A = this chain, B = another copy of it.
Amino acid sequence: MKRLGTQTIQLDNPPTIVSTASIVGPKEAQGPLAKYFDQCLDDEFWGEKTWEKAESKIIKETVNMAVTKSGIAATDIDYCFAGDLLNQCISSSFGLRELNIPFFGVFGACSTFVESLCLGSVFVESGAATNVLCATSSHFCSAEKQFRFPLELGNQRPQSAQWTVTGSGAAVVSANGTGPFITMITPGKIVDMGIKDANNMGAAMAPAALDTLITHFRDTGRKPSYYDAIITGDLGYIGKEILTELSETKGYNIKSNYNDCGVLIFDKEKQDTHSGGSGCACVGTTFSGYFYKQLQEKKLNKILLIATRCFNEFYELSTRGKHSWYCTCN
């Protein structure tokens, strides 16, 4: 392992992503990537009484599927890196408790899946682990309830809003394997340009994605054309446009090979998700379902995956006054 430039880590014995798995909700099942997911659910509850319990079940079953596909016994997986959007990361904590694998809780918001892959691959490359499990989940209904407004209120969503993906993505990363490999990591900085609108996450996240993108190119000496695909996690239509434009002003033309998981996962015309998909499961399922298979089948050989997360737009919601509180009505 060695460091390149200011922020990048080069993995000299790059870990292999041995397997991935993905389960998605009913809306994602109607989207253009449906055939790539391992399982599409018919309803948001999946037989559970609450959205949170459904989300826990989704991540639990996704993880079991990834482990089964890997051919590695669960007892040979050294550590698990996982997190989600919910208070206390309850969906991953409860979804993974029966796995009996030592657990590192990660909070990268919508970037959790890729943050977990970064941490896991450093553990594998360094010899701290031989096999690790990386996983995340999100759920449209539980996320709206926690971060915006309960669905029962029937609030209208503005056009800049994104639709939290219901689903889970999981990957088993190992020291042993023949690829696809994780070869480099460029952990990003917090870049906050002051966007405070919880319904415009693309604009909030694009400057941070730009910063990491440029840093990666600067650290490695690579150009956008080096990659078959440059993929952001969940900038959506608005954020994608901002990132494309900002990149050009910085001298990097990414127009021909750049796309965003939030743009890819839903059909813009038919699905009415406004600015596209978002949430931990957006990049989690799109990578685990679609891109991983493209890499396996050599339809894509080199990809740059930039997960994105929000800070500021939730700040105002959470600190609006010292008299806020949490009400529960059964």
Contacts and interface: CB of A to CB of B under 8 A. Distances in A.
A51 B322 contact: yes
A250 interface: no
A107 B106 contact: yes
A146 B107 contact: no
Contact of A323 (B130, B190, B330): B330
A189 interface: yes
A298 interface: no
A112 to B, nearest CB: 8
Contacts of A97: 190, 192, 311
Interface of A: prevailing SS: mixed
Interface in A192-247: 192
A311 B89 CA distance: 9
Interface residues of A, number: 75
Contacts of A107: 83, 88-89, 105-107
23 contacts: A3-B128, A7-B102, A50-B322, A87-B146, A88-B107, A90-B314, A90-B319, A93-B190, A94-B311, A94-B315, A104-B187, A105-B309, A106-B107, A122-B128, A128-B185, A145-B324, A145-B325, A145-B326, A149-B325, A150-B324, A152-B323, A325-B329, A327-B327
Interface of A: 1-3, 7, 9, 49-53, 78-79, 83, 86-90, 93-94, 96-97, 100-109, 115, 118-119, 122-123, 125-130, 141, 145-147, 149-150, 152, 185, 187-190, 192, 309-311, 314-315, 317-330
